[in-house]
């Protein structure tokens, strides 16, 4: 209630007159079409690449970014090694508890998660203590962990999530983003181990072969017959 009666009317009229000259918000739709907002993604859909494989890497970044937590997803990781899961298992009640947990910043216990191989976690703990259990140094932590184990075991990631308080999906997303981080022993290591495992048998066979030929194999073999693996004592 202003002191002067009718002042409200005057200010209202002034407002509408200002509006009269302001630029208009109407968009003449069929002729003029706005660009969609740059964060607009349209209908969510999983895409396939040209070989018919799902492009989804199960990195959970979509589920993590979803503000209303409406994305539930789970599946095998890219290499098909182990199960990953995000979101509610089955029931709404569990889902709600999960949401509460997730909002409180703790890791969500996941009953649908398949048990993973437990490993010796003291090395991870040491790495985490080095970095003060600070999730801001996630990349360094992950690199150090990989340097220790040769790869990133799931148990180690879980441990990191537990101790730093970072979401498992976040850690998994970080780990799956960088090409130099891997979730299984590198192929070079595993192949070398496989070759080493084959070697005693091969040596035995070659020795027997050599004996049967009376030492000719070791003399004629080698440089000329390249298709045959060279015997080494």
Partner 1 sequence: MTVINRTWDRLTLPGKVVFTVLPVLLALLLALVAVIAILGGTIVDILAANLPIVRFVVAATVILLMTIPTAFLLIYMEMKVIALMNLRIGPDRVGPFGSLLSVVHGLKVLMKEDFTPTGADPLVFTWAPVVTYLASVMTLLVIPFAPGLYGQDFNIGLLYFFAIGGLSVVGLLMAGWSSYNKYSLLGGLRSAAQVISYEIPLTLSVVGLILLAGTMSLNQIVLNQSGWFSSWYVFQQPLGFVIFFIAATAEGNRTPFDLTEADSEIVAGFATEYSGMRFGFFFFAEYVNVFILSALTVALFFGGWNAPFPWPWPLTLSLDPGGLGIELLILVAVVPLILTLIFATPFWIASSRIKSWQALLGGFVLANLFLVGLIVAGAYISLDWVAGVLWFMGKTYVFVFTFVWMRGTLPRVRIDQLMDFAWKWLLPASLLNLFVTAAAIVVVNR
Residues forming contacts to partner 1 in the complex (CB under 8 A) are: 9, 12-13, 15-17, 19-20, 22, 24-26, 28
Q: Name which of 12 and 222 has its Cβ closer to partner 1.
A: 12
DSSP 8-state code for residue 99: H
Q: Give least dist CB 34 to partner 1, A.
A: 15
Q: DSSP letter at 136?
A: G
Least Cβ distance, residue 167 to partner 1 (angstroms): 44
Query: d(Cα 70, Cα 92) in Å, to the nearest integer?
Result: 12
Residues 109, 122, 184, 59: is their CA dihedral positive or negative? positive
17 versus 34: smaller Cβ distance to partner 1: 17
β-bridge partners, 83: 76
Q: Which two tokens stand for residue 79?
A: 């290499």
3-state secondary structure of 173: helix
Give min distance, CB of 23 to partner 1, in A: 8
Q: Where would I find the beta strands (DSSP E) of 31-185?
A: 73-76, 83-86
Which residue number, 15 or 100, has a Cβ lying nearer to partner 1?
A: 15
In whole angstroms, the minimum distance from the beta carbon of 16 to partner 1 comes to 4
Q: By C-beta, is 28 or 180 nearer to partner 1?
A: 28
Closest approach of partner 1 to the CB of residue 1, in Å:
15
**Residue 90 and residue 132: Cα distance in Å, rounded?**
37
Contact by Cβ (8 Å): 69, 102: yes
Cα separation, 160 vs 135, whole angstroms: 9
Give the residue with the Cβ less far from partner 1, 29 or 51.
29
């Amino acid at each position: 209630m202003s002191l002067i009666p009718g002042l409200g009317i005057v200010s209202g009229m002034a407002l509408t007159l200002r509006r009269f000259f302001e630029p208009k918000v109407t968009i003449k739709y069929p002729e003029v079409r706005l660009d969609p907002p740059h964060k607009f993604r349209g209908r969510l859909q999983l895409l396939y690449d040209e070989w018919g494989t799902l492009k989804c890497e199960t990195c959970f970044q979509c589920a993590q970014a979803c503000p209303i937590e409406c994305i539930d997803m789970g599946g095998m990781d890219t290499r098909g090694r182990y199960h990953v899961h995000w979101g509610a298992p089955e029931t709404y009640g569990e889902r709600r508890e999960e949401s509460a947990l997730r909002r409180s910043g703790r890791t969500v216990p996941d009953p649908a998660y398949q048990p993973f191989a437990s490993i010796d976690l003291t090395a991870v703990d040491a790495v985490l203590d080095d970095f003060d259990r600070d999730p801001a140094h996630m990349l360094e932590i992950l690199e150090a962990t990989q340097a220790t184990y040769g790869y990133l075991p799931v148990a180690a990631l879980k441990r990191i999530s537990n101790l730093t308080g970072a979401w498992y999906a976040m850690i998994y997303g970080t780990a799956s983003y960088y090409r130099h981080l891997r979730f299984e022993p590198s192929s070079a290591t595993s192949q070398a181990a496989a070759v080493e495992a084959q070697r005693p048998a091969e040596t035995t066979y070659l020795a027997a072969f050599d004996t049967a030929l009376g030492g000719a194999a070791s003399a004629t073999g080698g440089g000329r017959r390249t298709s045959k693996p060279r015997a080494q004592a």
